[in-house]
Amino acid sequence: PPPPAVEWWDAKILNVGPLAAVPATDGAAAPEPATGPAYSHGLDARRVTHYVEHPPPVAAPVEKPPPPPPPAYLTAKERKKLTTQQRWDREREKQDRIRVGLDPVPEPKVRLKNLMLALGDAATANPSEVEARVRAQMAAREAKHREANEAAKLTPEQRRAKRLAKLEQDRARGTHVHVYRVDGPLGGQNLFKVDMNAQQWHLTGAALVVGELPPGLSAVGGAHNPGNFHAVIVEGGAKALRGYSKLMLRRIKWDQAAGAAASAQSGPAGACHLVWAGVVAKPYFRSFRTERVRSAEAARKWLQDRGVAHYWDATASFDPEGRGLVDALEGDQGDRGLAEGAAAAREATAAAGRGAEGEGSDMESGDEGPGGGAEADAMDEG
């Protein structure tokens, strides 16, 4: 049968209407009239929409394969054995390629130590020439080794990019926070180390230096605030903060800076304490900066604007003897209770003393009556 004028899948979106009659050519018979529905050229825009028909997927009538076995973790001895076996396989493949002629035969690895064993009679015929040749081979092998090392060495830009990628990967695992309290001076070289190391470790946060710089202390460590303290807050990865904590707690000699400042002005001994370390949901700082404030209230206000005023509260309530924020609050309440108890005991003691004095006066007035009567009787008998 002749093919249809319009396929069934196209008939749904075509316009339905009469077709124009095809005129007959000269000497040819008139064409037969078309049977069935007549479709005019053109799409019916009302039947074309933005929806796409997705036939539902049909699962194949086969059983699912079993799940793969869990990976086996090898012990250190098994890993060492596997590495040795792989090295032997590479050496065996190399020997096979040399045996079939695909690779040239390598020269014997001659050293001064195995010179006589490797060359034999040739070494005794002309020992000076053989020794020079062996030394040249040793120098060539060493040069090849150094060239391979130089080729594998990273450029400064590649090393910097690799280190930055590791720090970013470390920070992607979670944002860790360290809060430090610095008692004594924070300025000069110490402040430079605090700021520069934070930038090198790509940490965010702030170093809050409380108080103005007194005159005459710029060369001995910076601002020295008697009775005040400073706060250093850093955010970053766990590895970066481990390195930064070594700087704050071990490398910087805070007592030496405090001693130098104390020679010009008396002040507290220098020390640095880790107030709090933990993990937060998101970082609160975009970069690390040094902020100089005039008072503790201004420092807390500066942190409050960034939503971390509790860092300053923990630093202010920290006790170098080992009490933290909660312990300090509990200790203050306990001290307040002890003070109230002592005051109540003093009041009870005073009241008891007043009562004892009243009883003593009553007893003295009662004794005078009997005593006086006895003396009168004695006088009458006499």
Structure tokens at 31: 């064409």
CA distance 320 to 43: 85
Q: Which has the closest alpha carbon to 221: 250, 247, 192, 196? A: 192
CB neighbours of 286 closer than 8 A, spacing ≥ 6? 204
What confidence tens digit (pLDDT) does each residue in 172-227 have?
A: 999 999 999 998 888 888 999 999 999 999 999 999 999 844 444 443 333 344 45
Backbone angles phi, psi at 241, to 5 degrees: -75, -30
CA distance 308 to 304: 6
Looking at residue 108, what is its pLDDT?
Answer: 80
| Lowest-pLDDT choice from 131-145, 157-171, 268-282, 331-345 | 331-345
Reply yes or no on whether the pLDDT at 119 is more than 90.
no
CA count, 13 A, side-chain hemisphere, 28: 8
Q: Which stretches of 335-374 are assigned E, i.e. beta strand? A: none
Q: Where are the alpha helices (DSSP H) in 252-324?
A: 254-262, 296-304, 309-316
What mean pLDDT is reported for the chain?
A: 78
Identity of the highest mean pLDDT range in 4-18, 57-71, 73-87, 348-362: 73-87
Backbone angles phi, psi at 40, to 5 degrees: -85, 155
CA distance 313 to 2: 92
Per the CB < 8 A criterion, the answer to whether 223 and 212 are in contact is: yes
Q: How many CB atoms lie within 10 A of CB 109?
A: 10
Reply yes or no on whether the pLDDT at 28 is more than 80.
no
CB neighbours of 24 closer than 8 A, spacing ≥ 6? 30, 31
| Lowest-pLDDT choice from 4-13, 27-36, 213-222, 226-235 | 213-222
CA distance 130 to 117: 13
Residue 344: pLDDT band (50, 70, 90) is low
Residue 270: pLDDT band (50, 70, 90) is confident
How far from the centroid of its chain's Cα atoms is residue 50's Cα?
48
CA dihedral in degrees (116, 122, 127, 129; nearest 10)? -130
Q: How many CB atoms lie within 10 A of CB 171?
A: 21
Q: Which has the closest alpha carbon to 276: 325, 229, 328? A: 325
Identity of the highest mean pLDDT range in 203-217, 301-315, 362-376: 301-315
Looking at residue 233, what is its pLDDT?
Answer: 96
Looking at residue 192, what is its pLDDT?
Answer: 93
